[in-house]
Structures are given as structure tokens and as C-alpha cells.
């Protein structure tokens, strides 16, 4: 039964993957949504490269809102990923998501960048009659009472406006104004090293790499991922010392030298872009206060090693959408939003944070004995179908969703 009353509006701040998935999931059930997004048509597609690996459970969710079939042609279906040892130039383990055939309709990841996801989802949201999409509009603050919320925005003409709704969802990303206004602590830490991302038009598969590779090294670990073009690009991540001159790190010659140290081809790489970013491991102490709710990066941020940030944010969006729909239909009381917090905060801490921290330690481990033990374990897990399935259920976040379902 769709929600019909137009007064039952949800205000979503941010048209990132989380805000757009949430809005589409709500709108599909007839819930009116207003989306506030600071970027406009003129600069929406100019966002820096970020997430791009979409895990099986996330693909199922995209499918539910009709987004998957728009993304598949723009991405790369990748069932296999690799762990390598850089110094030995050796493949340690190849994991095949086909082991999850009985667990998901999508036993692979889709390598499809965040920018393509938000581009397609934005088109769908703009066309949806239940979604009021406000681009070039900045959210500045809000108030709430027992019966609703009022959001303050600055519209494209620079005028201050207010809009009211039943609930306000902060899908604004890591710098969430809602989280700060509510005084919610963002607990955790920031890694001291920076991550350098270089985008290269070069086919690394000719050296035996898969579409997705995690490469361990005690001094310079890396990640190597393939993205669909044209032209096809590969993203290579390296850790860098924050005391180094950042401008010097990103000079073309320095990037070429770093890439040649990684893989000596004797020819310059075709570098498409590069950027440096800081990595945080943080989870908000609360995911909701009254009618204001946090989702995605507003609620938790983590290292991209393992591709869990955007995926777990999209999982927040669908969990929350289902609960808001039940509340707005009058079938459940507002207290089910506490279950959203219990479920998704548990996943953020026990799965996303735990696994991404472990992934980083695994790649950067300096102790040779520990490195050997880790690599032996990975090899054993990849070669044994039952162990591989258990490993992949965790790595693809399916286990996190199953565990969340068991939380009352
Ligand atoms: C380099 C890098 C690589 C990554 N790789 C991966 C990966 O492979 N897999 C993975 O799962 N995750 C990855 N992540 C993490 C991933 O990008 C984020 O988890 C994801 O984008 C979060 O989605 P979101 O919708 O919560 O927030 P965002 O994507 O940050 O979107 C927030 C939106 O809110 C808008 N906004 C912000 N403030 C306001 C305001 N005041 N008013 C109006 N609008 C506002 C912004 O313009 C933006 O459109 C990576 C991150 C980085 C930095």
C-alpha cells in the first residue's frame, strides 16, 4: 500500500549514492521526498573519483529500485579478485565470488564508479513524480519538534528558504552539518599517511592482474582496480608520507617514477588524473536524534581498502527506507528507528571498521613472520571452497546484513 498523504515528506540532504538510493526507495513506495543537493547541473559530474566497487548485496538493492540495469552496461562484472605480494611479484590468493552462487543473484562485484551511479540515479530521481530534486541548493541547518522538522536552505538565487517534513536524513557525507549540529561525536581516528590515487590508461591484466587487486608490501602497499572507459582506466592507490611536499608528489615525473617502481614497463604510463586524500576510521556515536537521522558517510567513514564505505552506506539507505515507510504507513512506531541505529551502528563497528582496519594492516604488515602467516591463511582460504565462501560472505558484506537481521 503506497503512502499517499503529501504531508508525509522526508527531507534528504545530499544527492550522493546514499541520499539518492534512499530517495528512490522511498519514492517507489509513494513517500514524497525533497532532496537538497549543493551541486548543480553545471558541476555535478565534476566530483573527484571515489568509490567504485559494488558488492553483490548492493547490486541486489540497486536492482530493487531499477538502477542495476542502468549501471551494468557502464561497469565491469568482476567475479575474481587477487591478493599479491609486491616484493616477490607473486599472486598469493585468487578469490572467486562464484562461491556465493547460492547466496546471491549477483555472485560478482560490479566495478562501476560512484560518479556513474549518482549520474544514473540522479536522472531517475529527477524523473520521479514523488521526488522534489533541489540542485544548487545548500542546506545550512534545521530545527525539529515532536511532530516534524524544518530545514533551512539557500536556494539557487541565494535566498534563504525553509522546508518542512516529517523526517530529515543527513546523507551529506562525512562533513554532515546535521551530525555536528546535534553534537554527535564522530568517534575513531585518522590515519597519519595520505593515500595517493593515480588513474592510468593501461591494461594491467597483461601482467596477470585481475580487475581488482590488493597488493601487500611493507613499505608501499597498493590497490589496483579496473574501470570501464572509454578509455578504460586503472586506479592505483599508494600510501604517502604526509610530511612530503604534496605538490611534488603529484608532479607528472614523480607519478611516472612511482608507477615505474611499481611496474617497470620502460615506457611512460598514460596518466589520466591523480589526487591525494586523507583516510578516516570513524563512527558516529548516535545515528539518530528524534526525527533527524544519519546515513552513509555522515554516520561512518572508513578506509577504501575492501570497498565498504559506499556499499555499507547504501545498505543503511535501504534499511532506513523500509523503516520510514512502515512508520509513515502507520504500521510501526518511531521506535523502529532505534533498531536502525542498533543494526547499522553494529555493522559499522563490527564489520566495516573492523574489516577495513584489518585489510590495511594486512597490506602494510612489516613483520616477515606475520606477513607469511597472513599470506598462508589467505592462500588456504582461497583454495578451500568452504573457507572461501565464509571469507567472501564477510568481504562482500552479506554476513553483515544477515547479522543485522538478527538484531532486535
Ligand atoms: C578515494 C576514495 C575511494 C573510495 N573508494 C570506495 C570504494 O571502492 N568502495 C566503497 O564502497 N567506498 C569507497 N569510498 C567511500 C565512498 O566514496 C563513500 O563512502 C560514499 O561516497 C558515501 O556516500 P554518501 O552518499 O554517504 O556521501 P557522499 O558521496 O559524500 O555524498 C554527499 C552529497 O551531499 C552533498 N552535500 C554535502 N553537504 C551538503 C550541504 N550542506 N547541502 C547540500 N548538499 C550537501 C554533496 O555535494 C554530495 O553530493 C571511497 C572514498 C574515497 C575518498
Residue for grid cell 571452497: 385
Supply the DSSP symbol for 396. T
Read off the pLDDT of residues 332-365 as tens digits, 9 standing for 90 and up.
Answer: 999 999 999 999 999 999 999 999 888 989 999 9
Contact present, 109 and 405 (Cβ < 8 Å): no
pLDDT on residue 8: 84
First to last CA, the chain: 25
> Model pTM?
0.95
Residue 136 near ligand 1, beta carbon < 6 Å? no
Read off the pLDDT of residues 255-309 as tens digits, 9 standing for 90 and up.
Answer: 999 999 999 999 999 999 999 999 999 999 999 999 999 999 999 999 888 889 9
In whole numbers, what is the pLDDT of the chain averaged over residues?
95
Q: How confident is the model at residue 4 (pLDDT cuts 50, 70, 90)?
A: very low
Mean pLDDT of 212-227: 96
Joined together, the cell numbers standing for residue 187 give 568517534
Nearest of 246, 299, 188, 237 to residue 51 by alpha carbon: 237
Residue 110 near ligand 1, beta carbon < 6 Å? no
Question: How does strand 149-154 pair with strand 138-144?
Answer: antiparallel
Span from the CA of 193 to the centroid of ligand 1 (angstroms): 20
Residue 114 near ligand 1, beta carbon < 6 Å? yes
Read off the pLDDT of residues 363-389 as tens digits, 9 standing for 90 and up.
Answer: 999 999 999 999 999 999 999 999 999
How open is the CA angle 404-20-169, to the nearest 5 degrees? 65
Span from the CA of 167 to the centroid of ligand 1 (angstroms): 21
pLDDT on residue 173: 97
Mean pLDDT of 165-177: 97
Residue 306 near ligand 1, beta carbon < 6 Å? no
Specify the residue with its C-alpha closest to ligand 1, atom 20.
310
Q: How confident is the model at residue 185 (pLDDT cuts 50, 70, 90)?
A: very high
Span from the CA of 50 to the centroid of ligand 1 (angstroms): 7
Instruction: Please report, rounded to a whole number, the percentage of residues in the chain having pLDDT higher than 90.
Output: 92
Residue 300 near ligand 1, beta carbon < 6 Å? no
Amino acid at each position: 500500500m503506497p503512502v499517499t498523504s503529501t504531508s508525509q515528506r522526508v527531507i534528504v540532504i545530499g544527492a550522493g549514492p546514499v541520499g539518492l538510493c534512499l530517495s528512490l526507495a522511498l519514492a517507489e513506495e509513494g513517500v514524497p521526498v525533497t532532496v537538497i543537493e549543493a551541486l548543480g547541473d553545471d558541476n555535478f559530474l565534476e566530483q573527484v573519483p571515489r568509490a567504485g566497487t559494488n558488492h553483490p548485496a548492493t547490486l541486489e538493492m540497486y536492482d530493487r529500485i531499477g538502477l542495476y540495469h542502468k549501471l551494468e552496461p557502464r561497469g565491469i562484472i568482476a567475479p575474481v579478485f587477487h591478493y599479491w605480494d609486491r616484493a616477490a611479484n607473486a599472486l598469493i590468493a585468487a578469490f572467486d565470488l562464484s562461491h556465493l552462487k547460492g547466496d546471491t543473484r549477483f555472485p560478482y562485484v560490479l566495478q562501476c564508479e560512484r560518479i556513474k551511479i549518482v549520474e544514473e540515479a540522479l536522472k531517475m530521481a529527477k524523473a520521479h513524480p514523488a521526488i522534489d530534486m533541489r540542485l544548487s541548493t545548500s542546506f545550512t541547518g534545521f530545527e525539529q519538534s515532536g511532530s516534524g522538522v524544518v530545514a533551512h536552505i539557500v536556494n539557487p538565487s541565494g535566498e534563504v528558504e525553509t522546508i518542512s517534513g516529517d523526517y530529515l536524513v543527513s546523507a551529506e557525507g562525512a562533513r554532515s552539518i546535521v551530525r555536528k549540529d546535534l553534537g554527535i561525536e564522530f568517534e575513531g581516528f585518522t590515519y597519519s599517511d595520505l593515500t595517493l590515487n593515480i588513474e592510468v590508461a593501461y591494461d594491467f591484466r597483461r601482467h596477470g592482474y585481475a580487475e581488482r587487486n590488493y597488493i601487500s608490501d611493507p613499505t608501499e602497499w597498493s590497490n589496483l582496480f579496473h574501470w570501464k572507459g572509454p578509455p578504460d582506466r586503472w586506479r592505483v592507490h599508494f600510501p604517502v608520507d604526509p610530511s612530503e611536499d604534496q605538490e611534488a608528489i603529484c608532479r607528472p615525473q614523480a607519478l611516472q617514477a612511482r608507477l615505474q617502481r611499481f611496474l617497470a614497463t620502460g615506457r611512460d604510463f598514460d596518466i589520466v588524473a591523480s589526487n591525494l586524500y586523507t583516510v578516516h576510521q570513524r563512527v558516529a556515536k548516535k545515528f539518530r536524534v528524534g526525527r533527524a537521522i544519519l546515513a552513509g558517510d555522515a554516520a561512518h567513514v572508513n578506509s577504501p581498502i575492501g570497498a565498504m564505505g559506499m556499499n555499507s552506506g547504501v545498505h543503511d539507505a535501504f534499511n532506513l527506507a523500509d523503516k520510514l515507510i512502515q512508520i509513515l504507513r502507520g504500521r510501526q512506531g518511531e521506535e523502529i528507528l532505534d533498531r536502525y541505529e542498533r543494526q547499522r551502528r553494529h555493522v559499522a563497528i563490527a564489520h566495516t571498521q573492523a574489516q577495513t582496519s584489518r585489510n590495511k594492516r594486512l597490506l602494510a604488515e612489516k613483520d616477515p613472520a606475520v606477513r607469511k602467516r597472513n599470506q598462508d591463511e589467505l592462500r588456504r582460504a582461497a583454495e578451500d571452497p568452504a573457507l572461501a565462501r565464509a571469507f567472501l560472505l564477510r568481504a562482500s558484506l552479506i554476513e553483515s546484513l544477515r547479522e543485522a537481521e538478527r538484531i532486535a
